[in-house]
Chain A
């Protein structure tokens, strides 16, 4: 397989390393040094994009100082927009054919970047880091993450062990197809799989936090659960939402049938004076109503879809067979 990296005469960097930063003032310098060291023997041009996500400390000053190196670029978002949007800012400004994202807190090890990139060159669109020996608090970070990863795997069928690891390598074409928003960075593997990306996973190093505070807590459980429902809808029924809603309407319709049957039973067994209580037919009608409503919602979703016919994600990925 021909490497995309070997485009001769390509202008600009081939590899872009993107790191979102939020209040990471002390980590900026060592991070940049580490990355530069790790990429010392990288054969092509590369760039480092540091995204300051509205830090309230002097992260931006540190980024500016680091940007004295022509390979380092800084983006200041001026306002805290969250990790996904910050990563997206970096991706949008990255010029490389290959993009690597990593956390700005030094917990990921830039020494893993060359390995990720060469794995990508083997013919993958996405290579995910897997923090095999994770250096975080057990109860607050590891357990919820383990549960979330299990759930994502079960629901989407994408066999990735560690969805939360920021250290990932992507092909430009893949990122163009999965516009990220809200807090979707967790679901990058599942979203990628749904557009037909070839995905690999490899173990990476993970360090305990040296400076600064972790910005996560336990409060996300409900949000993640809800997001998972969305993910399922988007990945499975994206181009045919009516099917998804029709499937959801089946149990409601089934319940209506059960209530109808119960009504018939009470009519025949107990006579009309008791059966006229109207509870069973009422419940049956409510269930039919719910089923009908869900089906109609599916139609609304189809209307929404048809207003964006050139939607990126509906274009199948096709590679030429030679």
Chain B
């Protein structure tokens, strides 16, 4: 059984027994999704760096359904207690892989790494140093960047679109090399495709996020072109994140705004039609009346949707706090 890795579904039932955390351990979580090359190389290089700093660490590889753990890695996990492999029964995506990795790891510090070289391994210590210096999360910012203009352009467009929403500007939110305290990792609302926004999510939960420039690895700089469906999904992700960031506490502010635009324009149009009716113009055969009624109906429905959102937020309020206490006397 262990040879195949553990077969499992990502589940975070509240009753799940929590793995006891151990202080002083760095848990390295490596989600193997979408792209992987030289997994053993990644392991060796980063393990060497952590050993140099004489950190106690464990590696947790989470394989999404499509990928099978290579035999060499399985052999390693049998040999070393600090190397563990989890495998999903089917594809659940990177966010789920990260969540399960965090859940099943036990270090009080979590370091996430992509399954390929994104940054030069030498810099990883700087992330841990940033945490030691008081940050709750330290994210790598690939700099100097070796990417060609196409990659840079895509990346910049993404940062621009997301950047407008967050309180703090991030240079490289998409970089998967991040260190964080366990409390932060567990507080992140990781579902859907939100892993791309992890720094912003941590910020929103009230944590301090530092950016650390790390040199980009040359193998990360190859041209990235995706299928159009990937870009479409990315755009939807951004829209979802935008909504979550701005309106999770007050959904009616959003739905109310859109809804009242419909409602008011519908009301104005109805009024105009009413006045025209009394001036003798018939309205029974004009589609304008249909438009007016449609606008009013849409507006009312949108406001109703917002109110349902408000009820849900209100019901969750006893369990949710919008602040974190950083320091107390």
Contacts and interface: CB of A to CB of B under 8 A. Distances in A.
Interface string B225-262: 00000000000000000000000011011001100000
Interface string A216-233: 000000110011011001
Interface stretch (A23-31, A97-105, A161-169, A293-301): A293-301
A182 B313 CA distance: 10
B324 A77 contact: yes
B47 interface: no
Interface in A7-44: none
Given A297-B304, A312-B318, A223 B293 contact: no
A181 B324 contact: no
A222 to B, nearest CB: 7
A98 B4 CA distance: 59
B290 A88 contact: no
A241 B318 contact: no
A279 B286 contact: yes
A282 interface: yes
B153 interface: no
A85 interface: yes
Contacts, number: 160
Given A181-B249, A266-B284, A279-B283, A308 B325 contact: no
B1 interface: no
Given A78-B206, A226-B250, A233-B310, A297 B326 contact: no
B311 A286 contact: no
B297 interface: yes
A297 B304 CA distance: 7
Interface string A260-294: 00100010000000110101101100110110011
Given A76-B327, A222-B257, A88 B321 contact: yes
Interface stretch (A67-75, A116-124, A132-140, A201-209): A67-75
A254 interface: no
Given A233-B307, A234-B314, A226 B286 contact: no
A82 interface: yes
A227 B250 CA distance: 8
B325 A286 contact: no
B304 to A, nearest CB: 5
8 tightest Cβ-Cβ pairs between the two chains A and B: A78-B326, A290-B297, A277-B285, A67-B329, A76-B327, A85-B322, A179-B317, A74-B329
